[in-house]
Chain A
Amino acid sequence: MQVSENTENKEFKPLIVAFCCNWCSYAGADLAGTSRLSYPAEVKIIRVPCSCRVNPMFILKAFEKGADGVIMCGCHPGDCHYSTGNYYARRRMTLLFSMLDYLGIDRARTRVEWVSAAEGQKFSLVMNDFAKTVTELGENIKLGDLRCKKQQD
């Protein structure tokens, strides 16, 4: 299947997957909601117990299935609910992102942010900014399974 290039007329809406740690970022997202701080609906959150639960395979899987950007949010270093999880996550993601960059994948399509349960505003700002960045990058064609691209009809 060929991806239609006739996308200019439509406003490009990226698909963004956000992995959020249950103890901080997910709660931060809740707080953003409670505070009515909006961010684009393209951002879809997946709850994980800790940022260290995020397997690089999940991130690649999201790209495979057509995500245009993947962001992982965890507790600030030092604040992990499980004391050390985000430190491991930080190394894993650093290396993974570096590898994606090495393969020539747009480096701005992946991001890690530390957002606490109290940072509803930060969550909203981060998501707005990330969505903006990914929108500017346009559709992800370098790292996706072409079979999963939606037909642009």
Chain B
Amino acid sequence: MSEDIIAISGINPRQCMKCGKCSATCPAFEEMDIHPHQFASMVVEGRIDELLASESIWKCLSCFACVERCPRSVEPAKLIEAVRVSVLRERGGSFLSPDEIPAKLDPELPSQAIAAAFRKYRK
């Protein structure tokens, strides 16, 4: 399962030096149960089920701040995206409908989050 995430993301999570810059820079940090920096080590440890169940994958805005800032080219957003894609693949055709999106939105979130979220949930 870890291998799948690594393959989908194209990321080597072992490059992570656990500096936490991704979490430090993440605008959705407070919304998340599992924080970006944890993704790398959890993928390495094989704790994929926890990640699949995590709220964080739906909270990530795909703003790529972590990708931009990561000094080790681990690019956590790609790991998160990979986990998210895994979930979506599991679900098959039953994607969220656009109607469900407003409920998920938080008025505090920046507008780019809405765009990102819509892209994510669309279809």
The answer to whether A and B touch directly, with their CB atoms under 8 angstroms apart, is no
Interface residues of A (CB under 8 A from B): none
